[in-house]
Structure 1
Amino acid sequence: MFVETLVQWWLCRVIIYILAASVVLAADTSWSCPLCCRCSSEVLEVNCSRCQFPTVPDGLSTDCQLLNLTYNKIKTLERQQFSSLTQLWDLDLSDNILNMIEAEAFLGLQNLLTLRIARNRLKIIPVGVFSGLTRLRLLDISQNEILVLLDFTFRDLAALQRIEAGENDLVYVSQRAFTGLSSLQELHLDHCNLTSVPTEALAQLSGLTRLRFRQLGLTTLPNNSFRCLGRLRELVVSHCPWLETLAENSLFGLNLTSLTICHCNLSTMPYTPLHHLVYLRYLDLSFNPITYIQGNRLRELLRLEELHLVGGGLLRIEPGAFRGLARFRLLNVSGNLLATLEEKAFHSVGNLETLRIDGNPLACDCRLLWVVHRRLYLDFGGRPPVCTAPVQVQGRVFRDFSEAELPGLFTCRQARILNRKPQQVRVDEGHTVLFYCSADGDPKPSIIWLSPQSIPLSPTGRIHVLPNNSLEVRYAQVQDSGAYRCVASNAAGNDSFAVGLQVWGFSQNHSRRLHPALSFPAGNGSSHAHQPFPFDAKTLLIAVTLGFLSFIGSVVICFIFMFFWSQGKGQIKHTATIDFVPRSTIASNGAGGGNRVESGRFTMKLI
């Protein structure tokens, strides 16, 4: 019984092996593989890479799903070139010498998901080339010589999600080139000859979530550059050395979570274009010549978590720079020119997890004490900060300091105004006035000037602060009168000094001349003080002498003139006789009348 069962078991095994062998033989018979190609029936792949084929080889299995034709010498693709490969998922034609693809070349590949035609010699893609690729997800046409993207080039690719179109010679993208790409999520346009953002073409991509521009000839981002891209979440603009400005509304309409503008030529932080990006979490402005991060200018970026500004020549991060950023956890400002980073720059250092300040000339004083205290908890990215100054700690790594030596090393000296000599100036309208202010302290204090209304004064305008921290009031006006204040401050404290300015208007000048004893307002313009007599004794004596000499000279000239005039007229008469006729007297004799006129004469003596 046992032997019969064993025999039956062996017979069953033999039958199974025979059936399996027949199936394998049948499969191998139906799976054809061109000469030089490597085929795999298990993954349904045909790999014909580096076979030097001048055309697409014949005899490809209709069951093939992966076809690799890279590094051949294929020059053209004819219409319906792959129509028999209906099961194909992935087709790679990269690294050939393709310069022509006929319309409907890929017709029949209704299951194709990935198409790569990178690193060829295509100069133009005719309309209709991608007909029939209804399920295509990825298209790579990068590193060709494409000059123009024509209207409706991609209209049949309704399922396409990603286009790699970088490193072409693109000079123009037609306004309707992207028509039909309703599912496109990612577009890469790198290393092209575009000098402006193809705004109208991008407006067709309402579903786009990621956009990348690299190595373009952009000089500015104008207003509404990315309108209609309300779903865009990540924008990368990099390696555009001529990009110097972003228009105020250049990013208007976007709801970005990630923004990268690096390796460009931005000299200032783009505060205004950024202010509406309330969903922004990641911001990278590295390798731009940005020198300052001002206080309270980023507070509207409520969700910002990371800021990268590497290698930007950054000189100062002002107190309050990150105020309002409650989720801020990573700051990377390595490779800049920062001497310090004050705790007051942050909304809360308790949320800070990563701080990269290596590669900066750090002055280790009281301003950096907060970083040293947190040196065991902060992540320095594997590159802990190193002191550059003062001499006693130069070259020391933050983690090497012990708690006991910190109070004696990380110290500061409060700011102090040096020259406190009173400066009260009274001038006529139109004059220029200069006020001086200097201060000392460790670290070196910053100096600002406040107007009589306590408004900080800038280095520009008619009333401005000079580079040497002096205050210049040019062409002084009456309304400039008042008390100006110089404020010196550093991490250890502040000091201030007030100066006064009184400006006389033209009407006040006239009243002063008529009434020299009138009083005039003091430095603050709210009270009056008597003006001292404006001339001293010496000045008065000189004035009187000059006036007397002028009078005597005038009299002498008059007498000389009269003398010569009289000599020219001959003998002078001292008397004059004048005849005159008085009014007539009318007499009446009753019967008639007559007039009687009496004449007269008198003599007048001339004196």
Structure 2
Amino acid sequence: MAAKPLPDSPSWMSWRTLLFLIPAAFLVGFGESCPSKCVCPAHNTAVFCNSRNLTTVPGRIPPDSEFLDLSRNSLHTLREGMFSRLWVLKELDLSHNMISNIEEQTFNCLRNLMTLRLKGNRLDMVPEGVFTGLPNLSILDISENRILVFLDHSFRDLSNLRKLETGDNHLVFISSQAFSGLWSLQQLTLEKCNITSVPTEALSHLRQLVELRLKVLNVTTIPNYAFQTLHHLKDLEIHRWPFLTSLQSESLSGLNITSLSITKCNLHDVPYKAIKHLAHLRFLDLSYNPISVIQGKRLVDLSRLQEFHLTGGQLATIQAHAFQGLVHFRLLNVSSNDLQTLEEKVFHSVGNLEVLRLDRNPLACDCRLLWIVRRRRRLNFESRQPICSTNSTRKGKTFHKISEVPPGHFRCRKPKIVDKALQKVNVEEGGQANLTCKSEGDPPPVVSWVSPQNVTLDMGRRGRMVVLPDGSLKIHYALLGDSGSYHCIASNAAGIDMMEAYLHVSIPLFNSSAFANNASLLSDPGNQLPFLVDLGTLVGILVIGVVPFLCSVMICFVFIFLWSKGRGNAKHHVIESVPRFPRGYKAITNKNRTPTKKPR
């Protein structure tokens, strides 16, 4: 029978020592015991005290903690010394509490802190010096508070801050020196604030800023040179400014950005002048703006542009050569618009095009879209295939389902002018003239006219000569110089057709109806016409004006005659009444003597 080991034997001592060291090892593994209402995962330096209904920072937090989560509690005030033992803390989350007051030097001991989150509290201001003692802080989130103003030097001690989130506050004013001291700031977000102008002076201190996001603001305009000192800015986002209708021509001057987003605003036109000098721009997003047309040859200065997004708008036309000169252009997203077609000549080269989004547009699948059918295997539609919505034979068919172009499909019918008989229209000067030009084709032709002076008159042109939607040319007020041959040109993707019309403008005789017609034209504010009258009206004006003039002249002559007669009679009586010298007086009229009286 084997002998039992003595209590003081080596084997017994090893087991007793092991049982004693197990709890000690567990505690030493994290430095100290974990607070009762928190969770401290083993082999981790994080402490989770979130959603515990805490009203103060719990004690006994291990001093070697690097992450402390106190979010979603009921903290009201942060006092000095609350975090005095947490020397190595790198991230502190105080989001979604009820913090309304932060005492000075509260964070003074957290010299290694890199991230501080105060989102969703009740702060109404950022007291000067509240962030003193955070030399290594790189991320600060104070969004969703009640902050009304940023005073001068609010962030002066955060020289290493890289990212600042200030969105969804009640901001009404940002002082010109509010951001002074943020020498290293690279990302700034201003969102859901009550500021009504771009804080240009405050932003001028952020010389290292790379990303600027301005969201949900009631700003009506971006002034010239608003961001001119932000030479390192690469990404500018303007989102949801409902009162922004246009950009001033120099509003983006001084920027070298590569990405520009102006979305959910009220732009009716692409801001060509404002973006013209952005030679480094690669990404442009103008989605959800009521833009109806992209004009041709207006983006040529954006030579590095690679992506253009304009989704969810009112885009109905992309003119030829709209992306001319954009040799690096590879992505176009114009989904959810009113486009009926997209011609190949819109692009500088379709060889570089990789991604094309045309879905949710009322596309007419004719010869203008044939180039897309031929390149459908090389184009990426991002799983949103364009659909023919106006062609009865292939309505609802996506391009990727078309194995080959069927006969009669994706073809166009050349324009044809219905009546090519030579028109001869005679009209008196000052009258209205109409030259008709009816055409048909598939797609519907675009009609323009060429005047005798070789001036092209397009549809939509305003002035004295207007091309109507039915192709007719209406001349509101004919002049003698308008006489001559006019040429109507109907064109579509399949070709053109032409016809000639002749207009003769004659000098009219005076008649009341013509005068009334001219008066009505001139009184209409919509007609921009020169103030001209016909010969009959001119004769009438002269007759009415000359008679009173001649009568006035005759009356003047009568008055002058009577006055001169009266003046002559008065002079005669004066001479007769001159007294005579008595006898014995002699008038001496010598040059050197005066008249003298000679004695008798």
TM superposition score category, shorter chain reference: 0.7 to 0.9
The answer (yes or no) to whether the contact 1:477–1:505 under 8 Å persists in 2 is: no
> Unpaired segments of 5 or more residues in structure 2?
1-10, 511-600
CA distance, structure 1, for counterparts of residue 185 and residue 406 of structure 2: 57
Change in Cα spacing, 1:248 to 1:430, as seen in structure 2 (3 Å) is: farther
CA distance, structure 2, for counterparts of residue 485 and residue 22 of structure 1: 101
Q: Cα distance, 1:362 vs. partner?
A: 1.3
Partner of 1:486 in structure 2? 488
Partner of 1:61 in structure 2? 62
Letter in 2 for 1:438: K
Q: Cα distance, 1:461 vs. partner?
A: 3.0
Letter in 2 for 1:300: D
Residues 318-343 of structure 1: per-residue CA shift (max 9 Å, x gap): 22111111111111111112111111
CA distance, structure 2, for counterparts of residue 336 and residue 247 of structure 1: 26
Q: Cα distance, 1:220 vs. partner?
A: 2.5
CA distance, structure 1, for counterparts of residue 255 and residue 186 of structure 2: 15
* Structure with the higher strand share, 1 or 2: 1
Are residue 293 (structure 1) and residue 301 (structure 2) matched?
Answer: no
TM-score (norm 1): 0.76
CA distance, structure 2, for counterparts of residue 209 and residue 450 of structure 1: 52
Partner of 1:6 in structure 2? none
The answer (yes or no) to whether the contact 2:340–2:364 under 8 Å persists in 1 is: yes
Partner of 1:442 in structure 2? 442
Partner of 2:416 in structure 1? 416
Are residue 85 (structure 1) and residue 86 (structure 2) matched?
Answer: yes
Mean Cα deviation higher: 434-443 or 384-393: 434-443
What secondary structure, in the 3-state scheme, does the structure 2 residue paired with 1:38 have? coil
Are residue 471 (structure 1) and residue 460 (structure 2) matched?
Answer: no
CA distance, structure 1, for counterparts of residue 362 and residue 149 of structure 2: 48
Change in Cα spacing, 1:423 to 1:221, as seen in structure 2 (3 Å) is: farther
Partner of 2:155 in structure 1? 154
Partner of 1:207 in structure 2? 208
Partner of 2:167 in structure 1? 166
Change in Cα spacing, 1:194 to 1:349, as seen in structure 2 (3 Å) is: same
Q: Cα distance, 1:20 vs. partner?
A: 8.4
Are residue 318 (structure 1) and residue 341 (structure 2) matched?
Answer: no
Q: Cα distance, 1:344 vs. partner?
A: 1.1
The answer (yes or no) to whether the contact 1:459–1:466 under 8 Å persists in 2 is: no
Change in Cα spacing, 1:438 to 1:16, as seen in structure 2 (3 Å) is: farther
What secondary structure, in the 3-state scheme, does the structure 2 residue paired with 1:392 have? coil
What secondary structure, in the 3-state scheme, does the structure 2 residue paired with 1:225 have? coil
Q: Cα distance, 1:119 vs. partner?
A: 0.8
CA distance, structure 1, for counterparts of residue 156 and residue 319 of structure 2: 51
Q: Cα distance, 1:412 vs. partner?
A: 0.7
Change in Cα spacing, 1:65 to 1:328, as seen in structure 2 (3 Å) is: same
Are residue 176 (structure 1) and residue 177 (structure 2) matched?
Answer: yes
CA distance, structure 1, for counterparts of residue 448 and residue 186 of structure 2: 50
Change in Cα spacing, 1:16 to 1:424, as seen in structure 2 (3 Å) is: farther
CA distance, structure 1, for counterparts of residue 206 and residue 484 of structure 2: 59
The answer (yes or no) to whether the contact 1:31–1:41 under 8 Å persists in 2 is: no
Partner of 1:596 in structure 2? none
Q: Cα distance, 1:359 vs. partner?
A: 1.0
Change in Cα spacing, 1:429 to 1:412, as seen in structure 2 (3 Å) is: same
Q: Cα distance, 1:394 vs. partner?
A: 1.1
Change in Cα spacing, 1:493 to 1:93, as seen in structure 2 (3 Å) is: same
Q: Cα distance, 1:499 vs. partner?
A: 4.0
Residues 284-337 of structure 1: per-residue CA shift (max 9 Å, x gap): 111111111111111111111111111112212122111111111111111112
Letter in 1 for 2:131: F
- Between the aligned residues of both structures, percent identity stands at 47
Partner of 1:496 in structure 2? 498
What secondary structure, in the 3-state scheme, does the structure 2 residue paired with 1:115 have? strand
CA distance, structure 2, for counterparts of residue 314 and residue 150 of structure 1: 44
Q: How many residues get paired?
A: 498
What secondary structure, in the 3-state scheme, does the structure 2 residue paired with 1:212 have? strand
Q: Cα distance, 1:481 vs. partner?
A: 5.5
Change in Cα spacing, 1:464 to 1:22, as seen in structure 2 (3 Å) is: same
Q: Cα distance, 1:82 vs. partner?
A: 2.1
CA distance, structure 2, for counterparts of residue 303 and residue 431 of structure 1: 53
What secondary structure, in the 3-state scheme, does the structure 1 residue paired with 2:489 have? strand
Change in Cα spacing, 1:488 to 1:60, as seen in structure 2 (3 Å) is: same
Partner of 1:564 in structure 2? none
Mean Cα deviation higher: 143-152 or 458-467: 458-467
Residues 17-58 of structure 1: per-residue CA shift (max 9 Å, x gap): 899869836725842432211124633222211221112223
What secondary structure, in the 3-state scheme, does the structure 2 residue paired with 1:134 have? coil
What secondary structure, in the 3-state scheme, does the structure 2 residue paired with 1:363 have? coil
Partner of 1:584 in structure 2? none
CA distance, structure 1, for counterparts of residue 466 and residue 257 of structure 2: 39
Partner of 1:598 in structure 2? none
CA distance, structure 2, for counterparts of residue 287 and residue 47 of structure 1: 42
Residues 62-92 of structure 1: per-residue CA shift (max 9 Å, x gap): 2221111111110011234323322111010
CA distance, structure 1, for counterparts of residue 295 and residue 18 of structure 2: 79
Letter in 2 for 1:230: H
Mean Cα deviation higher: 131-140 or 424-433: 424-433
Residues 353-376 of structure 1: per-residue CA shift (max 9 Å, x gap): 111111111111111111111111
Residues 374-419 of structure 1: per-residue CA shift (max 9 Å, x gap): 111211111212211221111112122232x434211111122233
Mean Cα deviation higher: 462-471 or 90-99: 462-471
User: RMSD value over aligned CA atoms?
Assistant: 2.9
Q: Cα distance, 1:14 vs. partner?
A: 9.6
Q: Cα distance, 1:450 vs. partner?
A: 3.7
Change in Cα spacing, 1:48 to 1:396, as seen in structure 2 (3 Å) is: same
CA distance, structure 2, for counterparts of residue 41 and residue 87 of structure 1: 18
CA distance, structure 2, for counterparts of residue 133 and residue 222 of structure 1: 36
Partner of 1:592 in structure 2? none
Q: Cα distance, 1:139 vs. partner?
A: 0.6
Partner of 1:603 in structure 2? none
Letter in 1 for 2:312: G
Letter in 2 for 1:417: I
Partner of 1:251 in structure 2? 252
The equivalent position to 2:462 in structure 1, one of 460, 466, 483, is 460
Letter in 1 for 2:307: E
Partner of 1:335 in structure 2? 336
CA distance, structure 2, for counterparts of residue 142 and residue 16 of structure 1: 54
The answer (yes or no) to whether the contact 2:30–2:45 under 8 Å persists in 1 is: no
CA distance, structure 1, for counterparts of residue 433 and residue 66 of structure 2: 84
Change in Cα spacing, 1:315 to 1:61, as seen in structure 2 (3 Å) is: same
Partner of 1:276 in structure 2? 277
Letter in 2 for 1:409: H
CA distance, structure 2, for counterparts of residue 482 and residue 110 of structure 1: 87
Q: Cα distance, 1:194 vs. partner?
A: 2.3
What secondary structure, in the 3-state scheme, does the structure 1 residue paired with 2:389 have? strand
Change in Cα spacing, 1:125 to 1:491, as seen in structure 2 (3 Å) is: same
Letter in 1 for 2:449: W
Change in Cα spacing, 1:174 to 1:501, as seen in structure 2 (3 Å) is: farther
Mean Cα deviation higher: 270-279 or 446-455: 446-455
TM-score (norm 2): 0.77
Are residue 27 (structure 1) and residue 28 (structure 2) matched?
Answer: yes
Partner of 1:216 in structure 2? 217
Partner of 1:367 in structure 2? 368
Change in Cα spacing, 1:29 to 1:274, as seen in structure 2 (3 Å) is: closer
Letter in 2 for 1:301: L
CA distance, structure 2, for counterparts of residue 495 and residue 29 of structure 1: 88
What secondary structure, in the 3-state scheme, does the structure 1 residue paired with 2:351 have? helix
CA distance, structure 2, for counterparts of residue 57 and residue 23 of structure 1: 23
